[in-house]
Amino acid sequence: MIIEEIMNRDIYSLLPSNTIKDAVHIMREKKIRHLPIVDENNKVVGLITEHDIKNVLPSNLKEDSTLPDYQTPLENIMVKDPIVGHPLDFIEEVALTFYESKISCLPIVSGGQLVGIVTTTDLLYTYIELTGAHKPSSKIDIRATDKPGAMSNIFTTFKQHKVNVLSVLVFPDSEKENSRIISIRAQILNPLSIIHDLRNEGFEVLWPHLPGVQQ
């Protein structure tokens, strides 16, 4: 999946000459926490976040927007030349950028123009949708030997039960070097029969821990 599929195209931005008062007003009115700062050609030159404003106005100055600090130009406090992304960037790459750079939003630029914005909330919603966590389902964690064919054998069991697999995540096994943890979200509310057959096939089911069911 690429960023243009999830980015917000309804962008609110300001100029460097706009003031903190302008930024506070638009953030409150539009219920947003990030504002790209652009020049007259819609080129991203900076970024303002709610956190940046709170650092200047620790208590929002008790809502008194007539005080001098509110007239500070955004170019005085904005993050200049922020990290930007491209609509064709992969979501995994953008998520890594968020993680490594410890940022909360990413302006998306194409042809030198601001075309969208992505936030940590957008990535979280995308993760939930990709994993199927928002649908009625069950999560089954399986320890499997890291060898060819292991995944196929697991899916055969799900196929035999005619159960739809919504997502699959594979993690390193912190306890066994030659194993992997396969986390499957399946469209079934009672996975007991699948768990039973997986164990009969020699797989170790780590989750769910069900009362009365042998691990």
- Report pLDDT digits (tens) over 54-69: 888 866 444 666 678 8
Cβ–Cβ under 8 Å, residues 99 and 16: no
Q: For residue 68, what are its two tokens?
A: 């001098």
Looking at residue 61, what is its pLDDT? Answer: 44
Regions of the chain with pLDDT less than 50: 60-62, 215
Cβ–Cβ under 8 Å, residues 57 and 69: yes
The β-bridge partners of 121 are none
Looking at residue 63, what is its pLDDT? Answer: 60
Cβ–Cβ under 8 Å, residues 107 and 129: no
Cβ–Cβ under 8 Å, residues 46 and 81: yes
Cβ–Cβ under 8 Å, residues 49 and 105: yes
The β-bridge partners of 49 are 34
Cβ–Cβ under 8 Å, residues 79 and 47: yes
The β-bridge partners of 90 are 2
Looking at residue 194, what is its pLDDT? Answer: 96
Looking at residue 210, what is its pLDDT? Answer: 59
Cβ–Cβ under 8 Å, residues 113 and 43: yes
**Other Cβ atoms within 10 Å of 150 Cβ, number:** 16
Q: For residue 139, what are its two tokens?
A: 């999560």
Cβ–Cβ under 8 Å, residues 194 and 163: yes
For the chain, the residue count is 215
Find where tokens 């499957």 sit.
184
DSSP 148-170: TTHHHHHHHHHHHTT--EEEEEE
